[in-house]
Chain A
């Protein structure tokens, strides 16, 4: 497991208490899980994803990540409709471990209300939360 100071937490992202990140991407919100979550889960073997067109409210369970001996759900960082999923994860779930902010993104959501992004934490607030 990584020490807290070794975590990679980019400044430009917003973070949720459930360890998802979110950012604006072409008018949509792209999300994934952050370095802390992928490190805790260990080697991810399967990503259960929603279907394009599914709608969620902020905080709803969207899908799950599986390691060999654990399952961890991930939640919608804000309300909206799924417009895109990262299909590469189907064959290469390890991308979430290798590149959780880039190639390992999970879904893109068309937000109902983009201001919900403000409910999430910035890097500093999130880091403070992790420190407890």
Chain B
């Protein structure tokens, strides 16, 4: 096996040093009755050439490629990834390093994450951003746990229009410890109705903007509702690129922000690994779960970076830690930093604006083709549309024939919205694709 260096001579001489007669005898401390007698039931080992063939076949049974057209988002977005980003992130000094516990030989990761934290605070309008979390859903659940612990309450109120999977994650995280998630309903504009926050004794209100329907929430109303109840204001987003155009959650006074950063240079990769973003105000700095990188000086007075405030974390505080998180999504945080450094201040704005422009155009074309729209609310790059009869078949055909994914059926999440689709348009979709989609639907 090409990853294993041991020749017979190596093995013999090493065993001699150890003073054992055989490799098997190295395992004498394991009682025989606990050992497995049969070889592992696994397929025959493949050479790299055979593996390439095998994986090629795996690929063939998936309808997806960089050239497909995705009018679906819902938490995973098809944005252009610059080649320089892909190239740099595959440098093995970044990829094959462990968590930077030895800062003297980890300055690359550390400075990179420090710069990432800085850019995320800038985009979210918050004071502190962590070195990353698994994904938006888990980051949001952790944010709610912070509020529950700090406010010593048992319930939280969450907008009905946060991502449906995030609601499920929150329930999974909250229920065993005896916490409860309540929902805040939405209004006729497809926005969270903050006049209907449950009267219960809650620790936080959480709202996603743009919400799952794609609509931009009125976050000042969320802030007012939170102030009135003296609870944590937690904002989330699944489309990080919207921060290039939309006011930051921090500017509305959020205490904690959870987000999905997949849009910043990361492949969709069947939904993971993405990039959980978690940010807070200075007041929340010591309550945030996960790693933080800080700037300091070395013994010569030169600038350097270290993991800091580690006393919040599990390896020191054990059962009293703010969370159990250890590994995060650090390499993806670095990817996001590379992406943001590439697009820069003007690029992110331009790309974000193009997303919005294309989504507006798509909506117009769909309207011409017979779609109707339940809401006339401002959106970023996603919106809900009700399909004309027979669309499901057209949609299927477009996937199979052209690798064009026309919207996501949201009836599965919101039964009242049968035949409604969540459409998304990013900078990658072309006018021609949108025109063609409209023509196909019109032909029904």
Contact = CB atoms under 8 A, between A and B. Distances in A.
Q: Do chains A and B touch in the complex (CB under 8 A)?
A: yes
A12 B433 CA distance: 85
Interface in B309-356: 310-311, 316-317, 320
A69 B310 CA distance: 7
A1 interface: no
B316 A46 contact: no
Mostly, the B contact residues are helix
Contact of B286 (A46, A68, A70): A46
Nearest to A66: B311
A39 B30 CA distance: 44
Contacts of A69: 310-311, 316
Contacts of A71: 311, 316-317, 320
A9 B316 CA distance: 29
B157 to A, nearest CB: 26
Contacts of A46: 286, 311
Nearest to A48: B286
B316 to A, nearest CB: 6
Contacts of A70: 311, 316
A6 B320 CA distance: 34
Interface string A40-73: 0000001010000000000000000011111100
Interface residues on B, range: under 10
Interface in A65-98: 66-71
A7 to B, nearest CB: 25
Contacts of B320: 71
Contacts of B316: 69-71
A68 B316 CA distance: 10
A46 B317 CA distance: 14
A46 B320 CA distance: 16
Interface string A18-55: 00000000000000000000000000001010000000
B322 to A, nearest CB: 12
Interface string B282-308: 000010000000000000000000000
Nearest to A71: B311
Nearest to A70: B316
Contacts of B317: 71
> Which of B310, B311, B317 is packed against the most chain A CB atoms within 10 Å?
B311
B6 to A, nearest CB: 37
B31 to A, nearest CB: 38
B231 to A, nearest CB: 18
A68 B311 CA distance: 7
A67 B320 CA distance: 16
B189 to A, nearest CB: 42
Interface string B91-129: 000000000000000000000000000000000000000
A48 B286 CA distance: 10
B417 to A, nearest CB: 47
Contacts of A48: 286
Contacts of B286: 46, 48
Nearest to B306: A68
A70 B312 CA distance: 10
Contacts of B310: 68-69
Given A69-B311, A71-B320, 13 more contacts: A46-B286, A46-B311, A48-B286, A66-B311, A67-B311, A68-B311, A69-B310, A69-B316, A70-B311, A70-B316, A71-B311, A71-B316, A71-B317
10 contacts: A46-B286, A48-B286, A66-B311, A67-B311, A69-B311, A70-B311, A70-B316, A71-B311, A71-B316, A71-B317
